[in-house]
Every structure is written in structure tokens, then in C-alpha cells.
Amino acid sequence: MKTTRFITLRHLVIDSKIYIGLQYQADQVIDLLLKDFPELSFSEEHKLWHIPNNKQNIDKLLSMFKGIAWINFKYFYKDKPIDTSRPVPDLSELRKKSLRSVKTRKCPAEFLDKLEVIRYRPNSARVYINAFENFINYFPNKELLEINEIDINNYMKYLVGKKVAVSTQQTAINAIKFYYEQVLGLPNRFYNLERPRSHSALPNVFSEEEMARIIDGTENLKHKALLAIIYSGGLRISELINLKISDIRSDRKQIMIRDAKGGKDRTTLLADSTLHLLRKYYLEYRPKEYLFEGQSGGCYSAKSIQNVVKAAMSRAHINKPGSTHTLRHSFGTHLLEKGTDLRYIQTLMGHASSKTTEIYTRVSTKVLKNIISPIDRLNIRL
């Protein structure tokens, strides 16, 4: 019969230094393997062998005892003293909003703390919190450190059975890995999860004629200016919402996009026609801080912007799928069709990878129009 060995890790502080205590039942195999472990020492006070607490040593423990002993992290994190000097982040409202009534377990405080420390945006934080709370409520009676790879893979099967979107499953994996790897600091390979294969869908794009109908058919000056600036600079909806009056650089014909996706600033195009429209809009509406503000001031809402786009599409008699982001995709595609280098399009749109920009080569009609189908070379009667 195969012997099951366990090594329980303990959080030790000795002479103001942090160590990993190794607790296990007397075992010659474990003793022999640990013998050559660098910086191994014995604490008479704690009656434990211990090693310096660092990621390299944890990685080595997992590698050394793989298939030989189960490394139990449960008490390693429970033994850690609470750092009362660090203020608890005020994300309580965000957490309440993300919870549904059927949930019973809330996101651990350290999860929220980490999100704040690495400055996740509220929307990204909300998605991660909600995904992780769904996960932990699938195991209502199990300690988080008792959840293993088999449990997590079973949860993935549960999501697949529910027929959730691939992006939802990807987010669940990211949230789980975020907790175990970044919050708790476990090695990256500790939870080696298989990711679902993504479907590479082509973006919807409006033609130039459709874009003209969308903007030209909008009588409301504020809405017309809003549609024009999205298409003029290829803005994301979040970028439009946070755009301030001071970000319009009329002298340079540029729009300054601050703290965009990935925390990056960039500049993009401001067309002469759009600038003319913005000046008319400003004189009539007099926004105070943000370029587009709600009725009570402050940022314009994402829902209101989407409603403006939908209404404009309806007036233009465009029945195919489309959204605010379709205007951005149309900006990139139309630039490509007019001969703009992909590298410049990538910079204007704020894409981190050129592969993201290259998708417009798959929806552009310019190249396809110049390709002759082989059937047209056949001498056949039609």
C-alpha cells in the first residue's frame, strides 16, 4: 500500500526574520530529502525544521516532494499575524453590488486589498470579485486552502455545463489564479488550469456610407458631437466617458486619452470637421469639466452613450449588429483601407499588441475587391 505523506507548512518568525516551518510525522524519506536542503535549520523553541520564506524555497519544496508528499499550505497562511497597520480598503460598496442574494460567502479582505494595491479599475475589480465569489460559493463548506486542482477543474466542468461564454470561463480562471498566486503567493504551477479554446470572432464594422448616415441623421447636437468624436479618434466608451475639456488639443488637432486600458496615455486624431462640431456643441452646452456630462453634471453614463448609438443606427436604418465599439472598429478598418500603416493604427487605438490591430486586415474589403474568384476565369455559360 502506498504511503501518503504530508508536510504542513507553518509561518514562523525567529529573530524578526520570517521562515517556513516544516511539520511532518517522523519519516526517513522526508528526512533524507530535506537533509541537503540549503539553509535548513532546527528551532528548539518551535520544535520544527525551518527554511527561509521565499518563493524559490516554496518552488523547490513542491518540486522535491512532487509525487512523494502532499504540501499543505492551510496553516501556513492561518498562522500569519494580521497587519493592523495597513488600512482595510474601502471596497465594501463594490462588494455589496457584486453579490447576489443567493451567495453566502464574500470575497476575502486580502483579495480586495490586493486589487487596490495594484490599482485595478473599479470595473475590472467588480468582474474579478464577482467571478471569485461565484467560485467560492460553489464550495460553501470548504476552506479556501483546502480547495485543490480537482475541485477547480470540477468547477470548470460546472461552468461548461451551464454553457457560459468562453470569456466568463477565462475570467473565472483569472480570478482563481489571482487569489492563489498573487494574493497568497503560491507558485504559478500550483493550479495548472486548462484554458478553454477561444472563438476568434471578426468585429462588426460599419461602412463609410453607413457611418455618414449614423452621424448625419442625428439632429441632437450633443449626440452628434459624441458620435463624431468616437469615430474621429477610435475611442473606447470608457475613454469617451472620462474625456475632459482640457484633453481636446485643438491647436494640434489631437485628442489626449489619459489612463486608458492598461494604464497608458496616448494621443489620437481630431478631425477638422469634428473640431468644428465640438466648438458648436461647447458654445451651446457649456460643459464644466468633462466634455460630455450628465444632466446633473459629472461623467456621462455608458448606458446613455449606448442608447445614443442604438437610436442613431435605427434612424439610419441599419439593422445589423452594432454598438459604440463598432464605431471604434470602423475607425481602425477605414484607416487601414485608406493605406494607413498598421503600426500607426496600433498607436492611435492604444493596442498593446500588433496582433489586435491585425484583425482589421480580416474585415477590410479593400484587398478582397482586388482578388478575382477563379470562377470568373472560366468560359462558362450563365
- The grid cell for 135 is 467560485
Q: pLDDT digit string (tens) for 241-260?
A: 999 999 999 999 999 998 88
Q: How far is CA 163 from CA 44, 160, 166, 203, 281, in A?
A: 55, 5, 9, 22, 46
Instruction: Name the residue type at position 304.
Output: S
Residue-level pLDDT at 120: 78
- The grid cell for 132 is 471569485
Q: Provide the annotated active-site residues.
A: 236, 261, 325, 328, 351, 360
Give the chain's mean pLDDT: 84
User: Residue 148: is its pLDDT beyond 60?
Assistant: yes
Would the CA dihedral through 262, 263, 266, 270 be positive or negative? positive
Place of cell 535548513: 40
The answer to whether residues 247 and 268 touch, using CB atoms and an 8 Å cutoff, is no
Residue-level pLDDT at 320: 92
Gap between the Cα atoms of 324 and 229, Å rounded = 11
Residue-level pLDDT at 60: 85
More confident position, 54 or 310: 310
User: Residue 101: is its pLDDT beyond 70?
Assistant: no
Segment 268-292 shows an average pLDDT of 94
DSSP state of 195: P
pLDDT band at 231 (very low <50, low <70, confident <90, very high): very high
| Helix ranges restricted to H, the chain | 28-35, 55-64, 74-78, 92-98, 109-117, 122-136, 149-161, 166-177, 208-216, 221-233, 237-241, 272-285, 302-315, 324-337, 342-349, 354-358, 366-369
Smallest CA-to-CA distance from 245 within 282, 294, 297, 197 is with 282
**List of domains in the chain:** 5-78 (3.30.780), 92-191 (1.10.150.130), 208-367 (1.10.443.10)
User: Residue 15: is its pLDDT beyond 90?
Assistant: no
Rounded to 5 degrees, what angle do the CA atoms 193, 199, 202 make?
A: 145
Instruction: Name the residue type at position 229.
Output: I
Residue-level pLDDT at 343: 92
Gap between the Cα atoms of 223 and 316, Å rounded = 14
Segment 323-332 shows an average pLDDT of 94
Segment 5-16 shows an average pLDDT of 85
Instruction: Name the residue type at position 132.
Output: F
Gap between the Cα atoms of 89 and 332, Å rounded = 39
Q: What percent of the chain has pLDDT over 90?
A: 42
pLDDT band at 1 (very low <50, low <70, confident <90, very high): very low
Residue 72: its H or E element:
strand 69-72
Which of 171-180, 185-194, 333-342 is least confident?
185-194
More confident position, 88 or 74: 74
